[in-house]
Amino acid sequence: MTAPAVTAEMEWEETLLPAGSVPAELEAEVRRQFGAVPSWVARVAPAPWVVRAWATMVTQPVAHLPPGIGDLAALVVSQDNSCRYCFGAQRAVLRMLGYREAYIARLERDFHVAELSDAERAALDFARRMSRADPRPARAERERLAQVGFTAPAVAELAFVAAAIVFANRAATLLALPPDPLEQMVDRPLVRLLRPVIARRMRSKPRRPEPLPEPNEGPFASVVAALEGSPAAGVLRRAIDGALASPVLPRRTKMLLFAVVARALGCTRTESEMRAALALESLGTADVEGILATLASSRLDARETRLVPFARETVRYHRIAAVQRRMREVARGLEPAEIVETVGLLALANAVCRLSVLLDAA
Partner 1 sequence: MAWAAVVALLAALGVHAWRTRRTVGALERRLATARRELEALQQAFERFAPAEVVEHVIAEGVSARSEKKEITVLFADLQGFTELGEGLAPADLVTILNGYFERMSRAIVEHRGYVSKFLGDGILALFGALDANPWQTNDAIHAALAMRRTLADYNETLAAAGRPALAMGVGVHRGPVVAGLIGSEGLMEYDVIGRTVNVASRVERLTRTHGVDILVTEATRAALDGRFRLRPMPPVAVKGIADALPTFAVEGFDGGATAP
| Residues near partner 1, by CB under 8 A | 1, 5-6, 9, 102, 105, 108-110, 112, 132, 134-135, 263-264, 266, 290, 293-296, 308-309, 312, 316, 318
Q: How near is the Cβ of 41 to partner 1 at its closest, in Å? A: 31
Q: How near is the Cβ of 89 to partner 1 at its closest, in Å? A: 19
Q: How near is the Cβ of 245 to partner 1 at its closest, in Å? A: 29
Q: Where are the beta strands (DSSP E) in 41-163?
A: none
Nearer to partner 1, 53 or 260 (CB): 260
- 310: three-class secondary structure by DSSP: helix
Nearer to partner 1, 109 or 200 (CB): 109
Nearer to partner 1, 71 or 125 (CB): 125
Do 126 and 145 meet the contact criterion of CB atoms below 8 Å apart?
yes
Nearer to partner 1, 36 or 296 (CB): 296
CB atoms within 10 A of CB 211: 10
- 327: three-class secondary structure by DSSP: helix
Q: How near is the Cβ of 133 to partner 1 at its closest, in Å? A: 9
Residues 135, 151: Cα–Cα separation, whole Å = 23
Amino acid making up residue 254: K
Q: How many residues does the chain have?
A: 362
CA dihedral over 131, 167, 11, 110, signed as positive or negative: negative
Q: How near is the Cβ of 334 to partner 1 at its closest, in Å? A: 18
Nearer to partner 1, 110 or 214 (CB): 110
Residues 41, 93: Cα–Cα separation, whole Å = 17
CB atoms within 10 A of CB 221: 16
Nearer to partner 1, 14 or 110 (CB): 110
Residues 349, 328: Cα–Cα separation, whole Å = 20
Q: How near is the Cβ of 344 to partner 1 at its closest, in Å? A: 22
Nearest CA-CA partner of 17 in 311, 346, 344: 344
Residues 355, 351: Cα–Cα separation, whole Å = 6
Q: How near is the Cβ of 121 to partner 1 at its closest, in Å? A: 11
Nearer to partner 1, 45 or 295 (CB): 295
